[in-house]
A and B are shown apart, each in its own frame.
Chain A
Amino acid sequence: MTQGTFIQAVLIPDLPPPPQIRVTEAATRFNVYRNNVVVSLTEALQAAFPAIAQLVGPEFFAAMGGEFVRAHPPQTPVMAFYGAAFPNWLRGFAPVAALPYLPEVAAIEQARREAYHAADAPPLTGEQLARLAPDALVTLCVQPHPAARALRTVQPALAVWAQCIGVPDLARETPPEVLITRPAMAVQVHPAPAGTASTLFALANGVPLGEALGDVNPAHILTCLLGAGALANPKVFPCPT
């Protein structure tokens, strides 16, 4: 018997257990593996997306999670990031189509997990940046902090997430974007102005700071990025001319 045959029978409950199994009550015993695989992955997903679990309820989540884990089993044994495909999968999951903010809440939760485990680095401070000449600022290349993630959100994703998780300060916020950072050991969630995500994306691709900030509210975006610790300290260097 191949392991492919075995795992197919684990994942598809309608299939009988493989006939090469030599025990009495083979179906009951084989179900231990079915339970271990699908239930443990669903539970891992539920632990990773607590706000989603709260919004849809545990029974709905178990059924929805079962569908997701069968369609998207983990690609690596590192479970800390399992579920990266979940927010986008939710966008196409018809039973939750009436809650368009749900995938965005999931995206906030996934970004927080990524930020939590990202590389440690001291963030760039406003004072450090101020020491540089104002005309040099525009042509500087700055890297996003390794933990920084910015998301354009569908309203009221941030407020809904904050209510579920119990962050009263953010429970009434309806910002155009959300900035997630971890300047030290604690993950932070900040309301952010429009253009924050595109600025970080441009910086990551080596675009100089002045150009990356764009023309709409660049000072507001820069203040937000610096205040949240979204830029990396040691990566300040003049752009190649």
Chain B
Amino acid sequence: MALPASAGIGFKPQHYEDLTTDGPVGWLEIHAENYMFEGGPRRAMLAALSEQFPISAHGVGLSIGGEGPLDPAHLKRLRDLMEWLNPAQFSEHLAWSSHGGAYFNDLLPLPYTQSTLATVCAHVETVQQYLGRQMLLENPSSYLAFAESTLSETDFLTEVARRTGCGLLLDINNVFISAVNLGMSATAYLDAYPLELVGEIHLAGHEEQTTPDGAPLLIDSHGAHVADPVWALYERTIARTGPRPSLIEWDNDVPDFATLEAEAARADRILRQRLAA
């Protein structure tokens, strides 16, 4: 099943009984690493859901931005899952999460240079060849920048897509977070971003903190409603791209299904309005 240009949600096992195909939820996303084992109730749930919904598999552990080689054991686990599930789409992050054989359960930042560009392109090519499918690469949420960076993030992503043929996953919450944290313009970012390559959009909630000198510091918590400025950026983006598969991510303090469904319905309305326009 191809991923439809409708609203989806990140699947949580506690919502299994509530999911219906006649609501606003048109597809589901799973974190690939949460299903990399041999059997049990979680795999059984996913197998049943994949009969009803298109599934997007989202990786969080490949460490595509890592300076060392990709972990062959993890690539194998990923390919085994892809062959078992055959999802509509696979996506990963422009970030690193492993170093020296250890995994740090976070999406860590990399500087944007010709050298890191070459490494990321090599890793994306390896993944695409090994899986035998195109992948999408997601923009990160940034809390800091590196003095050694010579490329903008949008130029970096554009060039990775051009060299490897990968698609892009546009996380609009991440764009907003990075823009606020680094004192840049989210709309300027989106104007520079290659929107024609977007295969999926992510929407999520963030947490607002303040640095000791009074500057805003936004944290990508995935634990709240999508913020209004992010919805505004989303509408603006959809106006330009047309409908795209759009995911509500809510991974922490997960709400009841009705709350999540209402959030998906809001994205769905924006997509339908664009379709009618």
B213 within 8 A of A: yes
Whether B40 contacts A118 by the Cβ 8 Å rule is yes
Which residue in A3, A10, A21, A186 is a CB contact (below 8 Å) of B144? Answer: A21
Interface window among A35-43, A103-111, A158-166 = A35-43
Which residue in B110, B146, B213, B217 is a CB contact (below 8 Å) of A21? Answer: B146
Which residue in A22, A33, A44, A119 is a CB contact (below 8 Å) of B38? Answer: A119
Whether A78 contacts B77 by the Cβ 8 Å rule is yes
Considering only residues 83-115 of chain B, those with a C-beta below 8 Å from chain A are 96-106, 108-111
| Most chain B beta-carbon contacts within 10 A, residue among A24, A75, A77 | A77
Whether B108 contacts A40 by the Cβ 8 Å rule is no
B71 nearest CB across to chain A (Å):
8
Taking CB as reference atom, which chain B residue is nearest A22? B147
Whether A25 contacts B211 by the Cβ 8 Å rule is yes
A76 within 8 A of B: yes
Taking CB as reference atom, which chain A residue is nearest B38? A119
Q: In the complex, how many residue pairs between chain A and chain B have their CB atoms under 8 Å apart? A: 136
**Chain A interface residue count: which class?**
35 or more
**Chain B interface residue count: which class?**
35 or more
Whether A37 contacts B104 by the Cβ 8 Å rule is yes
A239 within 8 A of B: no
Whether A24 contacts B105 by the Cβ 8 Å rule is no
A144 nearest CB across to chain B (Å):
14
| Most chain B beta-carbon contacts within 10 A, residue among A40, A79, A119 | A79
Interface window among B60-68, B187-195, B267-275 = B60-68
Q: How far is the CA of A23 from the CA of B34 in the complex (A)?
A: 34
* Contact string against B for A residues 119-159, beta-carbon threshold 8 Å, 1 for contact and 0 otherwise: 11100000000000000000000000010000000000000
B: residues with CB less than 8 A from A are 33-34, 36-44, 60-63, 66-67, 71, 73-74, 77, 96-106, 108-111, 143-149, 181-182, 211-213, 215, 217, 219
Top-3 shortest CB links A-B: A77-B61, A117-B37, A120-B39
A: residues with CB less than 8 A from B are 1-4, 6-7, 10, 20-26, 28-30, 32-33, 36-37, 40-41, 44, 73-81, 116-121, 146, 182, 185-186
**A7-B104, A22-B146, A78-B77 provided; 6 other pairs, C-beta below 8 A?**
A1-B111, A32-B143, A44-B105, A73-B103, A76-B61, A117-B42
